[in-house]
Chains A and B, each alone.
Chain A
């Protein structure tokens, strides 16, 4: 008991009242913060063994000497930019020499091109920033949930709400969530509440997306005449699925964003692959076995579909702004049951 208790009249002029039920940011010194639970708090970095599979840790940096490759790339790209600049200036100058209007037209086109480039770069940057914001949100939320940190949870919920501020489908959820703003709710519980109000609908939709993609891949594989066609289709469908999932959960992936996303998904797959193997390989083999008895192509279709589903599930845990707190994350077996339904439907046909 370090600080003196005190009572204030509300009309005392010497007292400034920050009068709302919702407490402002915790202004207490770090020492004063309720650090009674001996859990990791937000300001302490997590040790590697505390990160769980919902997080996507960065791969360990590879040790290397002087980065010759990077130097080469940088030097080359600088060289290319300079020569492009020179080439463009020359063209414009030439055109001005021929006819003035041609010169103006060329500079106008160049200006539009530069503007478009800037806009494109900005958009990509924002897309990638948004992606890393979502990743950061999820990691912070995971820690806050583990520590049951009330203040941190409140901040996270505010961030998630602002992430979806322009998403009309969450209007009802946001309104319902705002109603509980002033109430005293524990950290983990508040996050669960946000999960229920903001993400439940999206989760259902995401599951439908994954299942749909898996079904399509299975179908196309089963009827495609060439193996190359399936490979291309699986690739196409996976990238589309990843992008759609990211858009659904509030990311805005474009070219580079998608590449980055795909890398994260593959990283996640590689990390959780070992775990996922144990629970799914049997099913895959059995599933393949049964379907293959009916038709070899159908069996391959199911396997390809499952692969797409796995990519989708991995993407889910990368693009979702909150970790799965109240329910269990969708598992391969959930999608599997849908797929085999498709299998039996296909068998009838």
Chain B
């Protein structure tokens, strides 16, 4: 349905796009969308990317960098004055320990939106580029809580649709137990009863509780909109966050002054004041996109998490506009013409398993990839580690050679009878990923169950082992190691630096 508000929104987007196009003529800019659900590793990715670019890290496959054509890469003032700056220095200090390596840790989860611009001065490879081009490219990157991304799937749903979907989802087997308190409250609510603030609060609170529980690492479910319920930012307690789905039919009509009407009004407010501006300001104008997916966590948490992730990815990515840019679309409606799907934390597996990881991601993000391909965007699938926390080694046990990863597990992590102290290095053989990705999706229960001779509990301990960031040896200006960051960069930026 094409409503007036949609047309207005489109017009606004076109206006922004024209403005961007004009500013690009003077100051060429690539807006890199780092897309990922919470804990996918967006902050670490951005930090490592900026660190490797500005400090001249090891990026052999990023041709402009390897060929010495990038003269300088520096942080420069961001274009939007209203958005906080990405605290690059703080995050980097967290990862390296900032002079005290024993305090190194992964950055805390992101609570607010922030932005950063990297200015690249480069020499063009082509005659025209050298003589007519600017030789400069700004790379704009936005970091935000991954939870908020889930909201993009709400853009196309009105309250009754969303409500029906959310309630149905909460009654699915994997979630029903977590949603018990919410269901209890839901039963007491009457959509046609007059509006009541206390009831609305209670419903919103239990609904939020259910979403929080589902997000726990143990379940690692992904499709949990609305995102601000999980990470409210500065909206904590405002009416726009005090709503919940009701048990109503998808075509139900709201009576004036009823609970239903109040919820619907708040939902609309949420969409209009929170989701739309967020999308408009940060996603509608992207040029390139990298979708970070923590596939291992989903695999670890089990089949329901995997299928949930698949749904969430497809939902989110349908909000974007992939496709090839024509001269007109470049001005009026910018499209994302290159997308990398990256399975992050690849350093938790031996490289012999990386191919399988990539194939698996290709299947799970299959719908989104097909959509993008069909629209004419170029896509790539990569197993990536923004910061490589482990090294590889072969351990021989009883004549059998095992491809292991060696790293320092975080303090308090347990495997079997051992509890690690956060200092000792451990060689871990993480097991093999399933050979055939289709087996995981078709028969997840079987493909992801513990192998014979190992208890379910022990199995879990292995899978959830977390490593600390790498100890950078020696020099204070040592650069964060990574896996395939350069390949992703090459795919995303090479043509703009040619």
Binding site for B on A (CB under 8 A): 1-10, 14-24, 26-28, 32-37, 148, 150-151, 179-180, 182-186, 189, 192-193, 196
Contact = CB atoms under 8 A, between A and B. Distances in A.
B158 interface: no
B427 A1 contact: no
Contacts of B187: none
Nearest to B351: A184
B451 A4 contact: yes
Contacts of A151: 352
Nearest to B429: A6
Nearest to A150: B351
A10 B409 CA distance: 13
A17 B402 CA distance: 10
B395 interface: yes
7 contacts: A2-B451, A4-B429, A7-B418, A10-B425, A17-B393, A27-B394, A184-B354
Contact of B395 (A1, A15, A20, A185): A15
B218 interface: no
A3 B352 CA distance: 14
Interface of B: 58, 60-61, 66, 346, 350-356, 359, 391-397, 401-404, 406, 415-416, 418, 424-437, 447-448, 451, 453-454, 459, 462-463, 465, 483-484, 487
A20 B404 CA distance: 11
Contacts of B433: 1
Given A8-B397, A34-B355, A1 B403 contact: no
A4 to B, nearest CB: 5
Contact of A5 (B346, B394, B462): B462
Contact of A179 (B58, B401, B459): B58
A184 B483 CA distance: 6
A233 to B, nearest CB: 36
Contact of A6 (B66, B353, B402): B402
Given A6-B429, A179-B58, A36 B397 contact: no
Pick from B351, B406, B451, B462 the residue with the most CB of A within 10 Å.
Answer: B351
Given A3-B451, A7-B416, A15 B396 contact: yes
A34 B434 CA distance: 10
Contacts of A3: 402, 429, 431-432, 451
- 8 closest cross-chain pairs (CB), A and B: A5-B431, A18-B394, A27-B401, A5-B462, A16-B396, A34-B355, A8-B427, A21-B391
Contacts of A6: 397, 402, 428-429, 462
Contacts of A150: 351-352, 354-355
A5 B427 CA distance: 11
Contacts, number: 140
A32 B404 contact: no
B392 A23 contact: yes
B355 A10 contact: no
Nearest to A14: B397
B424 A34 contact: no
A315 B169 CA distance: 65
A2 B432 contact: yes
Contacts of B484: 184-186
Given A5-B431, A17-B394, A27-B401, 13 more contacts: A1-B434, A4-B453, A5-B430, A5-B462, A7-B427, A10-B406, A10-B425, A15-B395, A17-B395, A19-B406, A23-B350, A24-B394, A192-B61
B113 to A, nearest CB: 33
B60 A193 contact: yes
B280 to A, nearest CB: 37
Interface residues of A, dominant DSSP: loop
Given A8-B397, A10-B425, A189-B61, A36 B454 contact: no
Contacts of B404: 8
A201 to B, nearest CB: 13
A151 B346 CA distance: 17
Pick from A1, A3, A26, A37 the residue with the most CB of B within 10 Å.
Answer: A1
A7 B392 contact: no
Pick from B356, B427, B434 the residue with the most CB of A within 10 Å.
Answer: B427
Contacts of A4: 429, 431, 451, 453-454
A30 to B, nearest CB: 13
Given A23-B351, A26-B352, A15 B397 contact: yes
Contacts of A26: 352
A35 B403 CA distance: 16
B205 to A, nearest CB: 40
Contacts of B454: 4-5
Nearest to B427: A8
Contacts of B424: 9-10
A34 B448 CA distance: 18
A32 B403 CA distance: 12
A3 B397 CA distance: 12
Contacts of B395: 8, 15-18
Contacts of A2: 432, 451
A42 to B, nearest CB: 14
A134 B58 CA distance: 30
A7 B430 CA distance: 8
A41 to B, nearest CB: 12
Contacts of A182: 391
Contacts of B353: 34
A34 B435 CA distance: 7
A15 B487 contact: no
A148 B382 CA distance: 13
Nearest to B449: A1
Contact of B427 (A15, A33, A148, A186): A15
A151 B353 CA distance: 12
Pick from A37, A179, A186 the residue with the most CB of B within 10 Å.
Answer: A186
A200 to B, nearest CB: 10
B77 to A, nearest CB: 34
Pick from B355, B391, B436, B459 the residue with the most CB of A within 10 Å.
Answer: B355
Given A185-B60, A186-B487, A5 B426 contact: no
Contact of A7 (B350, B429, B432): B429
Contact of B415 (A1, A7, A192): A7
A21 B431 contact: no
B344 to A, nearest CB: 14
Nearest to A179: B58
Contacts of A185: 60-61, 484
A15 B66 CA distance: 39
A15 B401 CA distance: 10
Nearest to A15: B395
A18 B402 contact: no
B356 A1 contact: no
Nearest to A326: B63
Contacts of B359: 36-37
A36 B356 contact: yes
Nearest to A24: B394
Contacts of B406: 10, 19
Contacts of B487: 186, 189
A32 B353 CA distance: 10
B6 to A, nearest CB: 43
A186 B60 CA distance: 12
Contacts of B61: 185, 189, 192-193
Contacts of A15: 395-397, 427
